[in-house]
Amino acid sequence: MRLTEDRAKAWLRQRGFSLPQGGVATTPDEAADLAAELGGGVAVKALIPTGRRGKAGAIRLLEGREAAHQAAQDLLGQEVNGHLVRRLYVEAQVAIADEMYLGFGFSGRLPKLVISSLGGVDIEQTFEQDPEAIVSHDIEPLTDFAPWHAVALWEEAGAQGPLLAKLGRLTHGLLAAFRAADGITLEINPLAADSDGNLHLVGTMMEIDDNALFRHPEWSADALAPDDEGGEAANQRERKVREIDKSVPGGAVRYSELDGDIGLFVAGGGAGLLQHDMIIAAGGRPANHTDISPGPTPDKMKAVFDAIFENPRTKALLVGFNHLQMAPADRVIEALVASLGDNPVDPRSFPIVVRVFGPAEKEARELAALVPGIHYLPRSASLKDGVDLIVELSQAAKAREATS
Amino acid sequence: MSILIDGDSRVVVQGITGFQGRFDTKYCLQYGTRIVAGVTPGRGGEEIEGVPVYNTVQAAVDKEGADVAVIYVPAAAVRDAVMEAAEAGVRVILATTENVPRHDAAAAVAATRRAASWLVGFNTNGMVTPGQCRLGGIGGDRTEDIYVPGRIGVCSRSGGMSAELAVTLRDAGRGVSTCVSMGGDPITGRTMDEFAGLFEADPESDAIVVFGEPGSENEQRLAAALAAGKIKKPVVALIAGEFQEQYPAGVSFGHMAAMISSPDDSASAKRRVLAEAGAHIAASLADIPRLLDEVL
């Protein structure tokens, strides 16, 4: 989950890091009050969990009550990078003498630290044009990373003088914060030094690990907030599946809509990807992608079936599992039949192809046989057989619809 | 021969008293896997499916000579379970748990590598050396039917696809030496090139079939190993997920990703680097036996 700037900064402030003063505004009046209270130059920023806000015009540098009011009026209600702007962060500008960059992330199996004495918005350009200015370092999880290790890296990155010791301590502290937060990335850009040589965490981006939310009650509520990752872009059906997925434990389900007309209920990451590729190769267009982990609860599976049937674009459905190995097949069909009961879908005109083999397959087949029109493929059928049949049937159904 | 596991492997199941642990243990025992012990702290002294349960992995190693561990514990506990097995000297550790917190995964992998044990997973559905030893849920209730003995080493990023690959090979008259679902989480104990290295050294594997996906650097590492001549046996690769390239990527968050990941970890980029390194790229499942016939 990507944290918005206010949450990331509040969390870091709590841990004792030095950040510019700032606060959240939800109306132009609040933004104006905050700007007046902070005094001097301020930044008014859209609080959305996305990067490239500056380039999208969602960060305004200004001074005074009126300018802040105007900027807030502009920004609130706007859509930036796919997110609706509902809240703003109004923050005191720091007099920056020097801009640096510091980031933690993962590369392969190891956490990685990336630093540069040349911070700022064009850090990626620096990385391409002047790779020597960027120092990256693998962090061995079971080995101590001490402040003096960080000092050596900052020295390599060209930092010098009294800043070095401060950078060493800060980097060490931020690694601890990165771990404590279960961070996926923690990026400070710019990491600013003022003219007195004090360091300030000016730009802060933090993405935390959804898989570790169980030990972070402080963020669990935010996980369902509408402005989390893709939250605004997600439609009602996608959001409903995500809510059920997050609120019920057990195997994960994911559902995202696309612009085609063949609904996909495909399990197992790999086989799902392959079937999606094959549908496109066969001339079909999926209406959605799903990723179903082993053993989701019947409720979760039904929620995905419901979303597929409620999507007005969906005209056919492929239930394409690989050879089930850890879950009973009848559970899948139970969820399908239950969803068919709740939705105005008739498999005699809305093609449904099922390729589900494995434990409790006999029961699954008996259950599916009660619904006329479901094509339950025989054991010998390959993944490609299922894909070819659903593409063929959906094209035939479309042709019928066109002539009638 | 085979890689990592065979008929002599002595297996301890961590989390044997849970639903999935017990479910798979039953099928593994039926298959003939020598499951010699289970571990659930606080349940020592009990028996599950006739297997004695201990409180610690160390006890299972000391009393029953376990040298392979299979782990069924929730994500919150899996880091410790892996570290416990590594510390007890277990040679091969298979962790079925998926969606493991990234920092936990990194620490557990570091611990197993330090102990020189092989961690398979996270997010694996198991591995099998047909006719000898099966770990995890691989093959469900039909492992004999899906995985027939043969001379092709299989390594798949996807658990479910390992069955599709094995069935495709079986229907073409071939079988597998060992099939390993290496794990689908972003961080796995060992990388695809390392599994390929084991097959390279296995005299009873003639070729290697891999299944890859977008994301991670596994396929790129395999390509590098091929290019460096570390893998000389034929490699046939099926890489899925090309469709993702048709959809726009979201706006990235910050700059880290651009600076620390491969610039292109898409399916087609992986196919390209593997092909350049000498791997044979399968366009479909049906293509795999055809390519094997050409190179063997």
Q: Is A276 in contact with A325 (CB distance < 8 Å)? A: no
pLDDT greater at residue B201 or residue B251: B201
H helices of chain B, in order, are 19-31, 57-64, 75-87, 102-114, 143-146, 159-171, 192-201, 218-227, 256-260, 267-276, 287-295
Query: Residue B63: how many CA atoms within 13 Å on its side-chain side?
Result: 17
**Helix A28-38 vs helix A65-75: crossing angle, to nearest 10:** 140
Query: Contact B164/A383, CB-based, under 8 Å?
Result: yes
Any B CB within 8 A of A137 CB? no
Closest CA to A198 of A43, A94, A336, A62: A94
Any B CB within 8 A of A180 CB? no
Lowest mean pLDDT among A118-127, B118-127, B171-180: A118-127
Residue B141 included in any domain: yes
Any B CB within 8 A of A326 CB? yes
Domain range spanning residue B105? 11-295
ipTM of the complex: 0.91
Closest CA to A38 of A88, A101, A98, A99: A88
Q: Given pLDDT bands bounded at 50, 70 and 90, which one contains residue A199?
A: very high
H helices of A15-90, in order, are 28-38, 65-75
Residue A9 included in any domain: no
Q: For residue B141, what pLDDT is reported? A: 82
Do A28 and A146 belong together in one domain? no
Q: Is B68 in contact with B5 (CB distance < 8 Å)? A: yes
Q: Which residue of B has its CA nearest to A123?
A: B255
Query: Contact A269/B213, CB-based, under 8 Å?
Result: yes
Which of A103, A274, A276 is the closest to B161 by Cβ?
Answer: A274
Q: What percent of chain B has pLDDT over 70?
A: 95
Average pLDDT of A26-42? 96
Token match 């091969």: residue? B92
Which of A179, A270, A382 is the closest to B158 by Cβ?
Answer: A270
Do A149 and A249 belong together in one domain? no
Do A241 and A356 belong together in one domain? yes
Q: CA-CA distance, A171 to A240, in Å (whole number)? A: 40
H helices of A197-323, in order, are 217-220, 236-247, 269-281, 298-310
Lowest mean pLDDT among A128-137, A248-257, A340-349: A248-257
Q: CA-CA distance, A262 to A333, in Å (whole number)? A: 18
Query: Contact A271/B106, CB-based, under 8 Å?
Result: no
Lowest mean pLDDT among A241-245, B5-9, B17-21, B116-120: A241-245
Structural tokens at position A81 = 């990078």
Structurally, how many domains does chain A consist of?
Answer: 3
Distance from CA of B244 to the nearest CA of A (A): 9
Residue A194 included in any domain: yes
Burial bucket for residue B249 (CB in 10 Å: 0-12, 13-18, 19+): exposed
Query: Contact B125/A326, CB-based, under 8 Å?
Result: yes
Average pLDDT, chain B: 94
Residue B5 included in any domain: no
Active site residue B255: yes
Distance from CA of B214 to the nearest CA of A (A): 9
Of B232, B250, B252, B255, the catalytic one is B255
Question: Is the preceding omega at residue B122 within 30 degrees of 0, hence cis?
Answer: yes
Per-residue pLDDT tens digits for A52-88 = 888 889 999 999 999 999 999 999 999 888 788 999 9
pLDDT at A39 exceeding the cut of 60: yes
Tell me how far the alpha carbon of residue A243 is from its chain's centroid: 14
Count of CB pairs separated by less than 8 Å, A with B: 205
Residue A112 backbone dihedrals phi, psi, to 5 degrees? -130, 145
pLDDT at B275 exceeding the cut of 50: yes
Chain A hits for B217, Cβ within 8 Å? 108
Do A371 and A318 belong together in one domain? yes
Q: Is A347 in contact with A373 (CB distance < 8 Å)? A: yes
Q: CA-CA distance, A314 to A240, in Å (whole number)? A: 17
Do A160 and A240 belong together in one domain? no
Q: For residue A233, what pLDDT is reported? A: 57
Chain A hits for B141, Cβ within 8 Å? 358-359
Q: Do β-strands A374-376 and A352-355 pair in parallel, antiparallel, or remain unpaired?
A: parallel
For residue B280, the surrounding DSSP H or E stretch is strand B280-281
**R_g (Cα) of chain A, nearest Å:** 26
Domain range spanning residue A123? 98-209
Distance from CA of A59 to the nearest CA of B (A): 15
Average pLDDT of A131-138? 90
Q: For residue B163, what pLDDT is reported? A: 92
Residue A239 included in any domain: yes
Query: Contact A270/B184, CB-based, under 8 Å?
Result: yes
pLDDT at A325 exceeding the cut of 70: no
Average pLDDT of A325-353? 91
Query: Contact A141/B106, CB-based, under 8 Å?
Result: yes
Do A105 and A55 belong together in one domain? no
Do A243 and A297 belong together in one domain? yes
pLDDT at B24 exceeding the cut of 80: yes
CATH of residue A112's domain is: 3.30.470.20
Residues in chain A: 404
pLDDT at A227 exceeding the cut of 50: no
Q: For residue A252, what pLDDT is reported? A: 78
pLDDT at A230 exceeding the cut of 50: no
Which of B23, B163, B252 is the closest to A322 by Cβ?
Answer: B163
Q: CA-CA distance, B95 to A163, in Å (whole number)? A: 45
pLDDT greater at residue A10 or residue A125: A10
Query: Contact B163/A325, CB-based, under 8 Å?
Result: yes
Do A85 and A104 belong together in one domain? no
pLDDT at B46 exceeding the cut of 60: yes
Name which of A129, A323, A383 to mutate to probe chain B: the one with the most chain B Cβ atoms within 10 A of its Cβ.
Answer: A323
Do A60 and A118 belong together in one domain? no
Any B CB within 8 A of A102 CB? no
Average pLDDT, chain A: 90
Token match 């509040």: residue? A10
Chain B hits for A212, Cβ within 8 Å? 101-104
Distance from CA of B221 to the nearest CA of A (A): 11
Neighbours of A256 (CB within 10 A): 18
Distance from CA of B178 to the nearest CA of A (A): 17
Distance from CA of B216 to the nearest CA of A (A): 7
Average pLDDT of B46-54? 97
Q: For residue A228, what pLDDT is reported? A: 45
Residue A11 included in any domain: no
Q: What is the DSSP letter of B283?
A: S
Residue A285 included in any domain: yes
Q: Is A187 in contact with B260 (CB distance < 8 Å)? A: no
Q: For residue A335, what pLDDT is reported? A: 95
Domain boundary among A39, A58, A92: A92
Per-residue pLDDT tens digits for B83-105 = 999 999 999 999 999 889 999 99
Residue B6 included in any domain: no
Chain B hits for A177, Cβ within 8 Å? none
Q: What percent of chain B has pLDDT over 90?
A: 85
Structurally, how many domains does chain B consist of?
Answer: 1
Chain B hits for A280, Cβ within 8 Å? 243, 246
Per-residue pLDDT tens digits for B111-133 = 999 999 999 999 999 999 999 99
Residue B2 included in any domain: no
**Could you give the dihedral angle defined by the CA atoms of residues B248, A181, B97 and A336, in that order, rounded to the nearest 10 degrees?**
-50
Instruction: Tally helices (H) and strands (E) across chain A.
Output: 13, 19
Average pLDDT of B208-215? 95
Q: Which residue of A has its CA nearest to B157?
A: A270
Residue A137 included in any domain: yes
Q: Given pLDDT bands bounded at 50, 70 and 90, which one contains residue A112?
A: very high
Intra-chain end-to-end CA distance of chain B, in Å: 19
Q: Is A318 in contact with A266 (CB distance < 8 Å)? A: yes
Domain boundary among A92, A110, A138: A92
Structural tokens at position A170 = 């800060």
Residues in chain B: 296
Q: What is the DSSP letter of A94?
A: P
Q: Is B118 in contact with B92 (CB distance < 8 Å)? A: yes
Tell which A residues from 6 to 45 touch B, by Cβ distance under 8 Å. Answer: none
Residue A220 included in any domain: no
Residue B3 included in any domain: no
Per-residue pLDDT tens digits for A267-321 = 777 888 999 999 999 999 999 988 887 677 888 999 999 999 999 999 999 999 8
Any B CB within 8 A of A57 CB? no
Q: For residue A401, what pLDDT is reported? A: 82
Q: CA-CA distance, A249 to A253, in Å (whole number)? A: 11
Query: Contact A325/B251, CB-based, under 8 Å?
Result: no
pLDDT at A150 exceeding the cut of 60: yes
Residue B284 backbone dihedrals phi, psi, to 5 degrees? -155, 170
**R_g (Cα) of chain B, nearest Å:** 19
Which of A51, A52, A383 is the closest to B285 by Cβ?
Answer: A383
Instruction: Tally helices (H) and strands (E) across chain B.
Output: 11, 14
Q: Is A321 in contact with A269 (CB distance < 8 Å)? A: no
Name which of A325, A355, A357, A363 to mutate to probe chain B: the one with the most chain B Cβ atoms within 10 A of its Cβ.
Answer: A325
Q: Is A237 in contact with A339 (CB distance < 8 Å)? A: no
Q: Given pLDDT bands bounded at 50, 70 and 90, which one contains residue A125?
A: confident
Q: Given pLDDT bands bounded at 50, 70 and 90, which one contains residue A217?
A: confident
Chain A hits for B163, Cβ within 8 Å? 322-323, 325
CATH of residue A262's domain is: 3.40.50.261
Per-residue pLDDT tens digits for A87-102 = 999 999 998 899 999 9
Do A162 and A123 belong together in one domain? yes
Q: For residue A41, what pLDDT is reported? A: 95
Q: Is A86 in contact with A232 (CB distance < 8 Å)? A: no
Q: What is the DSSP letter of B89?
A: T
Q: Do β-strands A79-80 and A83-84 pair in parallel, antiparallel, or remain unpaired?
A: antiparallel
CATH of residue A66's domain is: 3.30.1490.20
b (16+ CB within 10 A) / e for A317-342: bbbbbbbbbbbbbbbbbbbbbbbbee
Chain B hits for A293, Cβ within 8 Å? 98-99
Query: Contact B254/A323, CB-based, under 8 Å?
Result: no
Q: What percent of chain A has pLDDT over 70?
A: 95
Structural tokens at position A151 = 């000092």
Which of B161, B243, B284 is the closest to A271 by Cβ?
Answer: B161
Chain A hits for B240, Cβ within 8 Å? 270, 273-274, 276-277
Lowest mean pLDDT among A35-39, A219-223, B20-24, B243-247: A219-223
Q: Given pLDDT bands bounded at 50, 70 and 90, which one contains residue A115?
A: very high
Q: For residue B260, what pLDDT is reported? A: 67
Do A199 and A328 belong together in one domain? no
Residues 6 or more apart whose Cβ sits within 8 Å of residue A152: none
Strands (E), A228-355: 253-257, 262-266, 288-292, 316-320, 352-355
Do A86 and A107 belong together in one domain? no
For A180-224, give the DSSP string. Answer: HTTEEEEEEEEEEE-TTS-EEE-SEEEEE-GGGGGG-HHHHGGGG
Residue A292 included in any domain: yes
b (16+ CB within 10 A) / e for A52-79: ebeebebbbebeeeebbbbbbebbbeee
Structural tokens at position B150 = 């043969």
Query: Contact A277/B243, CB-based, under 8 Å?
Result: yes
Average pLDDT of B16-25? 92
Query: Residue A49: how many CA atoms within 13 Å on its side-chain side?
Result: 21
pLDDT at A224 exceeding the cut of 60: no
CATH of residue B244's domain is: 3.40.50.261
Q: Which residue of B has its CA nearest to A320?
A: B160
Q: Given pLDDT bands bounded at 50, 70 and 90, which one contains residue A324?
A: low
pLDDT at B248 exceeding the cut of 70: no
Query: Residue A395: how many CA atoms within 13 Å on its side-chain side?
Result: 11
